[in-house]
Amino acid sequence: MSKQAQAPLGGKKTVLGVSGGIAAYKSIDLARLLALDGAEVQTVLTESAASFVQPLPFEVLTGVTPIQRMFPVEGGGSTGDMPHVSLTDHADLIIIAPATANIIGKFAQGVGDDFLSTLLLSARPPALVAPAMNPRMWASPAVQENVSALRERGHVVMEPAAGRMARAEEGVGRGRMPEPGEILQAARAILVPNPDLSGMKVVVTAGPTRERWDAVRYLSNRSSGKMGFALAGEAARRGADAVLVSGPAVLADPPGVRVVRVESAAEMYEAVKREWTDANALVMAAAVADYRPVDPSARKRKKGDGPLAVELERTTDILAELSGDKGGRILVGFAAETEEVLERAKEKLIRKGMDFIVANRVSGDEDAMGADASRAWIIDESETEALPVLEKGVLAGRILDRLAKMWQNIST
């Protein structure tokens, strides 16, 4: 079936705000994809965007004249007396792509000095923001604080992509605008509620575990919990009764998810076992410690002069343990590997009796651990699906698409 025939965004009204950056040329493709998806697209170009792209391609692709200035308003169809306010009233979603550091700053701080920033002053969350800027600017505390402020207000700020920048001297780094297809997917996720996991209880684990050695020291790993939190939030959004069992992670509870916070692998095992009894699926995104100190001390240990050996013992392998009486339930695991990623993931899939496994690399440029985006492979008994580098929220959607398909097969 063609995208057009499905028209997933049929009848949805979108505003596409284009700010000034070299990535503005990619917004033409985004406008095309949105229109192909059935959406109405009102483009708004900032003055500096107009130095990078002409309004005509947007008009041809969407059938709507872009708005370029505050006064007088050209085009824009039913914009009424207060065009910026009436546009936000009527829009189902405002997308800013590319979003420069400047427009992100104005949006976060409430500055309205042109049409786009003024329109954002009355934007209801979530607006979808696709940043594009120099990696050093993206990493700057000012931009990061503005991004956090927008996210706290419920807006969706995508992670810029990592890779080579448009200007060679800017080198490689995280700052490129996400691809138009990814932005479209994020727009669909906001605009089209998809309750394909309703009736299902999905347990997700996230984060590292901490294995105490004494009163102040522990063994742990670099996992941030972002993948598991994204999965649990997405599962809830898609109608599942979502439970998140998380090791120590500094992330806020995803909306609609029941969160159980634990510390050690043993606590995670107990919590998962409890939730598993009436669950339909378990997604083990946590980086569970495989070993813990044999003899943890309640006191702080004092150092000696010589070397120190700490004896470790195995923790329970939660997945392997639960796959014993799996029944009709779905088990999903993750494999985080530095080499032979696919081979090792396949071996784990079989050894731990999973229905499918998500493999990530945890070394080099595409190190998934702690990152906001990652490249993954979804592997089951019969096939390996290679995904591009995706923001973890988008990746969560892909993983749950697979889960939903499996659930449909089981429940019909």
Token digits for 365? 């440029």
Provide, rounded to whole angstroms, the least separation between the CB of residue 293 and ligand CTP. 15
| Contact status: 227 vs ligand CTP (CB under 6 A) | no
| One-letter amino acid of 17 | G
**Binding residue for ligand CTP, selected from 61, 288, 341, 400, defined by CB under 6 A:** 288
Applying CB under 6 A, which part among 44-52, 67-75, 280-288, 384-392 lies near ligand CTP?
280-288
Angle (CA) 310-313-318 rounded to 5° is: 140
10 Å CB burial of residue 141 (0-12, 13-18, 19+) is exposed
User: Which segment (169-177, 310-318, 359-367, 371-379) binds ligand CTP by CB under 6 A?
Assistant: 310-318
Q: Distance between the two ends of the chain, CA-based, in angstroms? A: 23
Residue 182 vs 355, nearer CB to ligand CTP:
355
Q: Which residue lies nearer to ligand CTP by CB, 24 or 354?
A: 354
Any catalytic annotation for residue 221? yes
Of 23, 82, 13, 9, residue with least CA distance to 43: 13
- Answer yes or no whether residue 265 interacts with ligand CTP by CB under 6 A: yes
290 contributes a contact to ligand CTP by CB under 6 A:
yes
Residue 286 in the binding site for ligand CTP (CB under 6 A) = yes
**Residue 318 binds ligand CTP, judged by CB under 6 A:** yes
For ligand CTP, the closer CB: 213 or 356: 356
Residue 315 lies near ligand CTP (rule: CB under 6 A): yes
Number of chain residues interacting with ligand CTP (CB under 6 A): 14
Q: How many helices (H) and strands (E) does the chain have?
A: 15, 19
**Cα dihedral sign, 221-224-227-233:** positive
Q: Are 120 and 94 in contact (CB under 8 A)?
A: yes
Instruction: To the nearest 10°, report the CA torsion of 232, 237, 243, 246.
Output: 30
Residue 296 CB: number of other CB atoms within 10 A? 16
Q: Which of 102, 221, 280, 360 is catalytic?
A: 221
Q: From residue 333 to residue 352, what is the string marking binding to ligand CTP with x (rule CB under 6 A)?
A: xxxx-----------x----
**CB 341 within 8 Å of CB 376:** no
- By CB under 6 A, tell whether 319 contacts ligand CTP: yes
* d(C-alpha 228, C-alpha 395), whole Å: 11
Classify 309 as helix, strand or coil.
Answer: coil
Nearest distance from C-beta of residue 370 to ligand CTP, angstroms: 16
Q: Which helix (H) or strand (E) holds 283?
A: strand 281-284
Q: Which of residues 164-183 bind ligand CTP (CB under 6 A)?
A: none
- The label of the residue with tokens 């995904």 reads 387
Closer residue to ligand CTP (CB): 89 or 347: 347
CB of 277 to ligand CTP, least distance (A): 17
Catalog residues that contact ligand CTP under the rule CB under 6 A: 265, 284, 286, 288, 290, 315, 317-319, 333-336, 348
- Known catalytic residues? 221
